[in-house]
Structure 1
Amino acid sequence: MSSWSSEHIFEHPWEDVVRAAYRKYPNPCNPAVKGVDVVNRSVCPQGTIQSHRLLSTEFPLPEVAARIIGTPEKNFISEHSTLNARNKMFKLESRNLTLGHLVTVHERMEYFPHPQDRSKTCLKQQSTVKVNVPFLSGYLERLLIENFEKNAMKGRNGMEWVIDRIKEEDSSNKVKQSSDILTQLETKFKREAEDLKQSMDSFFHKTQANTSPL
């Protein structure tokens, strides 16, 4: 079995990074992931959110490994996550379902606020690979670990891409909300002006009716 780990700091608050993690796929930086389905999601009594998702992917392998292990047309990954908003901790664990008899890939990810700067978010990532191919397990594991290192940057770029999209949506929503508020105020002022005009007209009509001619 071989393992790989890394740490990364996102220049964004924890809340924004977690929102992006939930919406990470699909994105143009990780084209291998084709779809995401929510299998189950529940809220625990402690307030944590447990999610189970199924990812469909091309499961790209190094060319040498693909020739030895094979490349199925469809590949699936099971992902379990735990979100604790109170403690600001988001954890994900994923494991491949396809080719499980030959290759086991287990990935763990943790997102938490930077201890010295709450405007930033830390990511700890660890992957373990075990290949059950006689005489070639060590060689193939090294190839897969190298592949993880190359794809880690794609994953981070994908997160940045999603975060940018979320910020654009938030900005657009704020503009829309401001526009809606102005429209509501304009409608309110028009209605109040009309009510005032009707009240004044009614007052003048009554005054004229009660005035005796000379």
Structure 2
Amino acid sequence: MKIRTSERISNHPWETVSTVTVQKYLKPMTSSLVGVDVMDRHTDPFGKFHSQRLLGTERGLPSTVKSLIGAARTKTYVQKHSVVVPIDKTMELRSASISFTNMVSVDDRLLYKPHSQDPEKTLLTQEAIIIVKGVCLSSYLEGLTVSTTSANAKSGREAMEWLIHTLNVETEQLVASGRGTSGHRQ
């Protein structure tokens, strides 16, 4: 078993980060993503917003890994559950792999909350637990999975930044077009 933990600070307020985090799987940079299905979305009686999604990915596994786990297919599925608590300004995102779980399990937990010293920034705490069982070279596979998890986390942060930039540009264009039309009214 390997545990990967990290903390990151985003230079954007929690409201912005939590809004785009839910949408980050829609970015054009995710060529391996083949589908996102929303299984459930609801607000509970306490005002917490829950979202349950199933993601399908087509990732090319190295041939060494394919031979070690005895798999020819590369399509994998991940279940994601997020809980947004607006009153506390927290968002928790839990991911669990549901493919190859008899050999590899990856459980990921991300917590987003305002930075304690600067409310215009967001603190992201991440913990991933990786377990490889029943295959030879499990330590090697755990290390490879940690590297993949790190790369995916970086890609997720890049997607968030791309979405925030896109949202800001669209907002500026909307505001500018509103100013342009309001001056022509009589």
1:86 aligns with 2:87: yes
Q: For 1:14-53, what aligned pairs fall within 5 Å after superposition?
A: 14-53=14-53
Residues 1:61 and 1:114: Cα distance change in structure 2 (over 3 Å): farther
Q: Which runs of 5+ in 1 are unaligned?
A: 190-214
* 1:65-101 deviations in Å (ceiling 9; x for gaps): 2332225242211000100111100000011111122
Q: Output the CA distance in 1 between the equivalents of 2:122 and 2:83.
A: 17
Instruction: Report the CA distance shift for 1:68/1:20 in structure 2 as closer, same or farther (over 3 A).
Output: same
Per mean C-alpha deviation after superposition, the further-off stretch among 117-126 and 128-137 is 128-137
Q: Is 2:15 the partner of 1:3? A: no
Q: Deviations over 1:188-210 (max 9, x none)?
A: x4xxxxxxxxxxxxxxxxxxxxx
Letter paired with 1:146: S
Is the Cα–Cα contact under 8 Å of residues 60 and 74 in structure 2 kept in the other structure?
no
Structure with greater strand percent: 2
Q: Is the 8 A contact 1:30 1:155 kept in 2?
A: no
1:34, distance to aligned residue in structure 2 (A): 2.9
State, as a whole percentage, how many aligned pairs show the same letter. 34
Rg bigger for which structure?
Answer: 1
Task: Write the deviation string for residues 151-200 of structure 1: whole angstroms up to 9, x where unpaired.
Answer: 322221121111111111222222344345446xx2xx4xxxxxxxxxxx
The normalised TM-score by structure 2 is 0.89
The SS at the match of 1:144 is helix
Q: In 1, are the aligned partners of 2:68 and 2:135 still within 8 Å (CA)?
A: no
The structure richer in helix per residue is 1
Q: Quick check: 1:112–1:121 contact (8 Å CA) kept in 2?
A: yes
Read off the aligned partner of 2:110 and give its amino acid letter.
Answer: M
**Do the aligned partners of residues 132 and 6 (structure 1) sit closer, same or farther apart at CA in structure 2, a change above 3 Å counting?**
same
- Equivalent residues of 1:41, 1:51 under 8 A apart: yes
Compute the displacement of 1:60 (Å).
Answer: 4.9
1:46 and 1:60, CA in 2 relative to 1: closer, same or farther beyond 3 A? farther
Equivalent residues, number: 185
The one-character-per-residue Cα deviations of 1:31-64 (angstroms, maximum 9, x if unpaired) are: 3223322110011111110110111112454553
TM-score normalised to the size of structure 1?
0.78
Matched residues in 1 for 2:171 and 2:114: separation? 21
Q: Tell me the equivalent position of 1:68.
A: 68
Residue 194 of structure 1 corresponds to: none
- Provide structure 2 residue ranges, at least 5 long, that are not aligned to the other structure: none
- Partner of 1:155, secondary structure, is helix
CA RMSD, aligned part only? 1.9
Q: Secondary structure at the match of 2:45?
A: coil
1-side partners of 2:63 and 2:27: how far apart? 24
Q: What is the CA deviation profile of residues 103-135 of structure 1, one whole-angstrom value per residue up to 9, with x for unaligned ones?
A: 111000011111111111110111111112244
- The answer as to whether partners of 1:61 and 1:147 remain within 8 angstroms in 2 is no
Pair 35,166 (structure 1): closer, same or farther in 2 beyond 3 Å: farther
Q: Is the 8 A contact 1:29 1:155 kept in 2?
A: no
Could you tell me which residue of structure 2 aligns to residue 157 of structure 1?
158
